[in-house]
Structure 1
Amino acid sequence: MSIRQTMLLVALAIAARPAAAGALPPGPDASPVAAGGDQITLDSIEIISQQLDAARLQIQPSLGASAYSFNQQALQAIPQGENAPLNQVLLQAPGVAQDSFGQVHVRGDHANVQYRINGVQLPEGLSVFGQALETRFARSISLITGALPAQYGFQTAGVLDIQTKTGLTNPGLGLTAYGGTFAWAQPSFEYGGRYDKVDWFITGDYLQNARGIENPAPSFNALHDNTEQWHGFSIMNAIIDPDTRVSVFGGAFNGQFQIPNNPGQAPQLGLTVKGASTFNSGVLNENQSENTQFGVISLQKHIGSADVQISAFVRNSNLSYAPDPLGDLLFNGIAQSAQRSNLAGGMQADGSWRLNDSHTLRAGFLAQLEHTSYNTFSNVLPVDSTGAQTLDQPIGVVDIGGKTGGLYGVYLQDEWRILPVLTLNYGLRFDGVNEYTNETQVSPRINAVWKATETTTIHAGYSRYFVPPPFELVAPTSIGLFANTTAAPSVTRDDSVKAERSHYFDLGVTQLVVPGFTVGVDGYYKLATNLIDEGQFGAPIILSAFNYASARVGGVEFTASYDVGPWSIYGNAAYSRAMGINIISSQFNFAPDELAYIQQNYIHLDHDQTWTASAGAAYTFNQGTKFATRVSVDLVAQSGLRASTATVPNGASLPEYAAVNASIVQKLDLGFGAGTELRLDVLNLNDAQYQIRDGSGVGVGAPQFGLRRTLLAGVTQRF
């Protein structure tokens, strides 16, 4: 039941490495495993699987980086447990700031988070509200940050590494009924099994409630905020022989969202549409749908002193926005039906070769081809040269397009154990992007890890980063189509979004104070050129990317954890400052005075938050019995994201807030099945009324308020 902060440093990686070249890591017992695939027994399958899991982790260790890890017990202890959205889990890690639409920001970056499942990097998708990946299928989750080793490219603010459940780790059938206030209903199931050398795990859920998106008003209940969502994930593993495994996994998400209304607002543009000039904002009918599907097939092979994993992957995602035909026109001057889609596929290969006791070489590549398309139909009103409306009958504007492009990257690095207490990991990446921009970069990476004492570990690193623009969020707008209409932008410049390039420095130390009690501090600083940010411009909840010419981002994180017996306690705090100057792409999205100010002055990025903090505690009564009771509580505290003043974009911060969540989980043995579990969760126990956004800021859309007190209960029956 712990949420344990660990630094995944070289010392740990070395400890987990095979004891001798040519041998897989030892299994949990001494049972011998036959060398021939035909001689594998059912009793040895679990041992082989664990050995291959350990070998896979050795292919892509986080040498010199920092990782905050959630094991299965930690995920269960978080309020909502496996029902918790992935972004809510991440808020318990240091340096993670909460934003609207389920977004999180890691170490002062807007997005730029890489998602990996069992070591395979997934392409980015279009989901804004929905969580295409779920806590439910995770056996463990790690958020890796800092100066990343050379195997991590493209998205570099953080790497979310998910190790999945399997039919071996989670056998049997589990059925869950879960729900509560805000018309919340969330039934789910999972099923794991094994036949001969093949195991499988399947899980799925359905979610509906009346708080699909953050409420734009401070009221307890939101207007027009229902959502329906479906999630599914499955994985199948086949042991070919003791050194070979084939895995196939995939998932799907489909979500329907009502865009919530902010009552009491009046149109401010002075327009008339078919004789109407007023509209009740409480009855707007805007809706958005999202869906995504992904699939991966991987071959993992151990050959002598080498390990390799080769994977092919595909991801398809779609997003569609339907406006209120009259209301959107009166409030925004445009009513736009918008669709975007992105189909991406490619290959990834990673390998490690242990040369001797001092050197381990690692190399790999990733190549991805993708096609993105957009289709918008906009109703607008005609205006004259002064901007005055000339007709009250809308006219239609169609904008359709698409593009095919690709990413590619290759790396080579060496883990050099200079001394038993000192390890250096150094390497190079070469990355390229050929999409709306065509750029390449060679990126050196170097990390040093020094185990200064038996209880003290220090790491320092430098990484050169190259971050391509999110292809699915870059769509050139035909600005000329909207000339002489209410949707004509004040700025007509639209330079292409460029790849972000940065120098990243990181220094940290962890200290084991007493057994079970660990503290750490980690500082970072990033100097970026063409820093990529994202914003919502217009009514459709579709993010668009743009660049700041220069940016500087820095901060420090503090962590502490205590895990002894039935107690698990943790606390994190982080300070961050993210500043940028001169917007140099997608300029038409901004007002002229806003652009002029930012061209000459560094401003806070809209997602910059000075302080973030999280803490939690869990205690288990009757630990290790069939009637264990777990009580847990956690806290998320934030100093507030940015808001604009009358003279300075992003010149102010919103008020600070703190929300407390609590959970009680009771295990029962009712004499049938494999056990019963009851849970009660209270989200925002203190019923804090807090504002995530106020509708102002660079690239910020409507206001958003956080979830009010929510009571949820559930029962799980396992067979």
Structure 2
Amino acid sequence: MQLDRQPPIRKALAILIASLGSATTVAAAETVELAPVEVVGTTPLPGIGLPKEQIPANVQTLSSEQLRKAGGVSLAEDLQRSLPSVNVNEIQGNPYQADVNYRGFSASPLLGTPQGLSVFLDGVRVNEPFGDVVNWDLIPQAAIASMTLVPGSNPLYGLNTLGGALAIQTKRGDTHPGGAMELYGGSFNRRGGSVEHGGKRDELSWFVAAEGMKEDGWRDRSPSEVGQLFGKLAWTKGETDLALTLGHASTDLIGNGLVPESMERQRREAIFTHPDQTKNQSTLLALSGSHWLNDNDQISGTIYTRRTRTRTLNGDGNDEYKDEFEEWADAGFPAGEGPESGVLNRTRTDQNAAGLALQWSRIAGAHQFAVGVSHDRSRAGFRQSEQGGELTGSRGIAAADDEEQVNSLLGRTRTTSVYATDTVMLAPSVHMTGSLRFNRTRVINRDRMGDALNGDFTYHKLNPALGLTWEAAPALTVYGGFSQGNRAPTPIELGCADPENACSLPNAMAADPFLDQVVTRTFELGVRGKLAGNVQWNASAFRSTNRDDILFVGTGGSLGYFTNFGRTRREGIELGLTGDSGALDWRVNYSYLEATFQSSACILAENNSTEGDGCPDDEIRVSRGDRLPGLPRHSLKLGLDWRASDALRLGADVLAYSGQYVRGNENNRHEPDGEFGGRGKLPGYAVVNVSADYRFARGWTLFGRIDNLFDKRYATAGALAENPFVGAGNAFAADPGEWRQERFVAPGTPRSAWIGVRYAWKGS
């Protein structure tokens, strides 16, 4: 099949120009009522902020009420339902462990996923230092006041801001007085609840929240439990504001991952192997403050400490089984023995991070600028052990050997940054914003079982950004800009970068070569405006190019290694339309994404039907223009809310995605044949969700939700892999010659429903 390689930028420009002309005509013909000015923060630290119309990017914001209406059990689900250009890969099969993709860049809890989004909670970066991963289960949902999604490689948000930054602000007692209690239950024996309260007395305000969820999960052997606590104490007097934040989370998650398609067809709830358990504990303590020196100058700062403890237990097939089987076969299987078929992998990761940041903001005539400095340091201790055993009839692991420690690594990271940004009014309707940030990162690895993993690496980069906004009419803004960001390799990536010594995730390691840092350059052009009847619209085109992208290349089983890969590119368009008419609120968002490799190379993919074609055995050739896996080209999101009465609200939303290539088919050429099974691409799908709120008494609301109303059977991600469970009843086949290469899938959640009650009270 011939793929369409034509970049979408020309198409996007045509759409933008057409949109510009149409909107200008409407604005000239009608008197448009202007909305209140929305001020958006432009740095992780508290600052003066800018009106949204002066920001040269398609910035998206969500309030706590919008997140509540989204109805997702996890923040990842809320982001997918509420924001354009966001899709989710449920690789782990757990809503708290999803890969969140925005414009083709990921924020994921899984080591090995190329991380390209930074996430901040009250100015504190919560990407974990060991692998830049984001643990969505550790972010307190009940405490979120608002979120801002900043697109592009904005250097002001520091490391890992390749495709965008998610800035989360939490609630305070002076801005969210009163409180609420909520209880709910339903499908999968999921039950949960939350309580929150905020208040203020004189200069002091407080906010506390607690929430919890427990469920059996819809797949076999997949119970999970989440508990979160949050508190904020703030003091405001005159021009000074101080806030002390304490957050704690403890979770126990089962993520059973991909399953062979042949098993999934037989039984939707089937899993591959078990257990697959992750336990997280995290505590955050942060002190932030700001002070107005005069009417034009503000200083702000944050100091924090953060501690995360992660324990994993994974039951896997023995990656050495094939080689060991051949050795035993050559020896004639003495005494009827054979190699062990399974292994229990355990890891302990203890991460401690601390940092401080200081910023000065100033309004000076036509200029509004900010200058800041930050320093962050972390210490991550990683231990891995293995315990050999045998696969059981239920595809669990019966341990037969003693536990053996195979790796112990201490990774330390130090990052110092200096940044500056200035927005200048060139004319009453024209604003230009320029930014610079210099990052210096040092990564030190120390092997606590020898010296093979020792390493000391230093990275530095100066990243610029330049953008322009033009308010062409009272209800029309045109914008465009360029930005650059970088990501330094993490300790786990530097500890697993040798193709001759592949690692298992999360990770056995060996002495490895140096990795280059990733550098991303983004161009964006867009228009946004407002039409009569309170209809808001936006259209934008973007292109982000990664140089030296860090990819995890699989070598079979759970093994693989990290490597730099030339160039990759994500480009596309976004179109959005929202409005309200009487009792109806509606929204339409469409995204087009072309995510491609821009370099050629041979990479390992032994389960691809084209392996060895122009490359060594077990490898495939990836060429320029081949699409990145896991990312649909088209996405469409529709939403409708109907206020049927003062007491009743009914809502519905549709999430629709086109097909995507699976992992292992990076060259987009895999086709099933007699030896290789499973297609290399997943079909598209559409899911319909409905919800309702009914206020039956003062302060009391009954709410309900049905997800996947029509019980659509779909998959959010996939991979080409080898299935050893091909015997009767999916029993393990001792002879690897009988194993079957096929497509593995991450099945989507079936139809499910929940009902709950919420009581809210107002504060003074």
For Structure 1 versus Structure 2, the TM-score category normalised by the shorter chain is 0.7 to 0.9
Mark the CA change 1:535 to 1:188 in structure 2 (over 3 Å): closer, same or farther: farther
Which residue is equivalent to 2:534? 516
Which residue is equivalent to 1:456? 476
Q: Is the 8 A contact 2:517 2:548 kept in 1?
A: yes
Alpha-carbon offset, residue 708 of structure 1: 0.9
**Counterparts of 1:173 and 1:488 in 2: how far apart (Å)?**
44
Amino acid at match of 2:419: Y
Alpha-carbon offset, residue 602 of structure 1: 5.3
Mark the CA change 1:67 to 1:324 in structure 2 (over 3 Å): closer, same or farther: same
**Counterparts of 1:410 and 1:697 in 2: how far apart (Å)?**
45
**Counterparts of 2:534 and 2:665 in 1: how far apart (Å)?**
51
**Counterparts of 1:234 and 1:495 in 2: how far apart (Å)?**
44
Alpha-carbon offset, residue 59 of structure 1: 11
Q: Is the 8 A contact 2:171 2:207 kept in 1?
A: yes
Matches within 5 A, 1:504-653: 504-533=522-551, 546-580=563-597, 593=616, 596-598=619-621, 603-623=626-646, 628-643=647-662, 648=667, 652-653=680-681
Which residue is equivalent to 1:351? 360
**Counterparts of 1:394 and 1:701 in 2: how far apart (Å)?**
34
Instruction: Give the counterpart of 1:667 among 695, 702, 707.
Output: 695
**Counterparts of 1:281 and 1:564 in 2: how far apart (Å)?**
47
1:81-119 CA distance string (max 9 Å, x none): xx5534433442111121123111111113322222344
Alpha-carbon offset, residue 397 of structure 1: 5.2
Q: Is the 8 A contact 2:487 2:517 kept in 1?
A: yes
Instruction: Give the counterpart of 1:115 among 115, 119, 131.
Output: 119
**Counterparts of 1:496 and 1:62 in 2: how far apart (Å)?**
41
Query: What secondary structure is seen at the aligned counterpart in 2 of 1:251?
Result: strand
1:243-281 CA distance string (max 9 Å, x none): 0000111322222123438889999xxxxxxxxxxxx97
**Counterparts of 1:87 and 1:668 in 2: how far apart (Å)?**
28
Which residue is equivalent to 2:344? 335
Mark the CA change 1:506 to 1:594 in structure 2 (over 3 Å): closer, same or farther: farther
Mark the CA change 1:128 to 1:17 in structure 2 (over 3 Å): closer, same or farther: closer
Instruction: Give the counterpart of 1:403 among 408, 411, 414.
Output: 411
Mark the CA change 1:600 to 1:174 in structure 2 (over 3 Å): closer, same or farther: closer
Q: Is the 8 A contact 2:252 2:280 kept in 1?
A: yes
**Unpaired runs of at least 5, structure 2:** 1-33, 91-96, 108-115, 264-269, 322-339, 390-399, 445-456, 671-679, 723-741
Alpha-carbon offset, residue 585 of structure 1: 13
**Unpaired runs of at least 5, structure 1:** 1-11, 19-52, 212-220, 268-279, 382-391
Alpha-carbon offset, residue 488 of structure 1: 13
Query: What secondary structure is seen at the aligned counterpart in 2 of 1:323?
Result: strand
**Counterparts of 2:713 and 2:185 in 1: how far apart (Å)?**
22
Which residue is equivalent to 1:442? 462
**Structure 1 residue 718 and structure 2 residue 760: aligned?**
yes
Matches within 5 A, 1:208-247: 208-211=214-217, 221-239=218-236, 241-247=237-243
Alpha-carbon offset, residue 300 of structure 1: 0.7
Q: Is the 8 A contact 2:37 2:52 kept in 1?
A: no
Number of aligned residue pairs: 627
1:592-619 CA distance string (max 9 Å, x none): 8588534665532223321122121112
**Structure 1 residue 287 and structure 2 residue 277: aligned?**
yes
**Counterparts of 1:482 and 1:708 in 2: how far apart (Å)?**
36
Instruction: Give the counterpart of 2:380 among 352, 372, 378.
Output: 372
1:309-362 CA distance string (max 9 Å, x none): 100122222222223488898797643212223221111222211111x11121
**Counterparts of 1:646 and 1:161 in 2: how far apart (Å)?**
34
1:278-327 CA distance string (max 9 Å, x none): xx977733422122222211011111111121001222222222234888
Amino acid at match of 1:354: I
Alpha-carbon offset, residue 154 of structure 1: 3.8
Amino acid at match of 1:158: G
Alpha-carbon offset, residue 664 of structure 1: 0.5
Matches within 5 A, 1:263-274: none
Q: Is the 8 A contact 2:284 2:307 kept in 1?
A: yes
Mark the CA change 1:116 to 1:650 in structure 2 (over 3 Å): closer, same or farther: farther
1:623-654 CA distance string (max 9 Å, x none): 4xxxx211111121112332157794686431
Which residue is equivalent to 1:6? none
Which residue is equivalent to 2:250? 254
Alpha-carbon offset, residue 419 of structure 1: 0.5
**Structure 1 residue 135 and structure 2 residue 141: aligned?**
yes
Structure 1 stretch displaced more, 312-321 or 408-417: 312-321
**Counterparts of 2:403 and 2:600 in 1: how far apart (Å)?**
32
Amino acid at match of 2:649: R
Alpha-carbon offset, residue 544 of structure 1: 7.7
Structure 1 stretch displaced more, 125-134 or 499-508: 125-134
**Counterparts of 1:405 and 1:513 in 2: how far apart (Å)?**
50
Amino acid at match of 1:514: A
**Counterparts of 1:289 and 1:511 in 2: how far apart (Å)?**
46
Which residue is equivalent to 2:735? none
Q: Is the 8 A contact 2:369 2:422 kept in 1?
A: yes
**Counterparts of 2:705 and 2:405 in 1: how far apart (Å)?**
49
Query: What secondary structure is seen at the aligned counterpart in 2 of 1:187?
Result: strand
Instruction: Give the counterpart of 2:750 among 708, 713, 717.
Output: 708
Which residue is equivalent to 2:266? none
Q: Is the 8 A contact 1:482 1:488 kept in 2?
A: no
Instruction: Give the counterpart of 1:302 among 287, 292, 313.
Output: 292
Alpha-carbon offset, residue 516 of structure 1: 1.0
1:211-247 CA distance string (max 9 Å, x none): 2xxxxxxxxx4111111111122211111x2100001
**Counterparts of 1:696 and 1:140 in 2: how far apart (Å)?**
39
**Counterparts of 2:534 and 2:419 in 1: how far apart (Å)?**
37
Structure 1 stretch displaced more, 651-660 or 630-639: 651-660
Amino acid at match of 2:437: R
Mark the CA change 1:294 to 1:472 in structure 2 (over 3 Å): closer, same or farther: farther
Which residue is equivalent to 1:693? 717
**Counterparts of 1:263 and 1:104 in 2: how far apart (Å)?**
20
Query: What secondary structure is seen at the aligned counterpart in 1 of 2:720?
Result: coil
Query: What secondary structure is seen at the aligned counterpart in 1 of 2:200?
Result: strand
Alpha-carbon offset, residue 546 of structure 1: 4.3
Which residue is equivalent to 1:26? none
Query: What secondary structure is seen at the aligned counterpart in 2 of 1:401?
Result: strand
Structure 1 stretch displaced more, 525-534 or 637-646: 637-646
Q: Is the 8 A contact 1:251 1:293 kept in 2?
A: yes
Alpha-carbon offset, residue 377 of structure 1: 1.1
**Counterparts of 2:471 and 2:153 in 1: how far apart (Å)?**
18
**Counterparts of 1:374 and 1:95 in 2: how far apart (Å)?**
35
**Counterparts of 1:505 and 1:713 in 2: how far apart (Å)?**
45
Amino acid at match of 2:121: I
**Counterparts of 1:261 and 1:164 in 2: how far apart (Å)?**
32
Alpha-carbon offset, residue 562 of structure 1: 0.5
Alpha-carbon offset, residue 531 of structure 1: 1.6
User: What's the RMSD between the two structures over aligned residues?
Assistant: 4.2
Amino acid at match of 2:418: V
Mark the CA change 1:302 to 1:649 in structure 2 (over 3 Å): closer, same or farther: same
**Counterparts of 1:573 and 1:668 in 2: how far apart (Å)?**
36
Query: What secondary structure is seen at the aligned counterpart in 1 of 2:173?
Result: coil
Mark the CA change 1:656 to 1:585 in structure 2 (over 3 Å): closer, same or farther: closer
Amino acid at match of 1:620: R
**Counterparts of 2:483 and 2:591 in 1: how far apart (Å)?**
21
**Structure 2-normalised TM-score?**
0.73
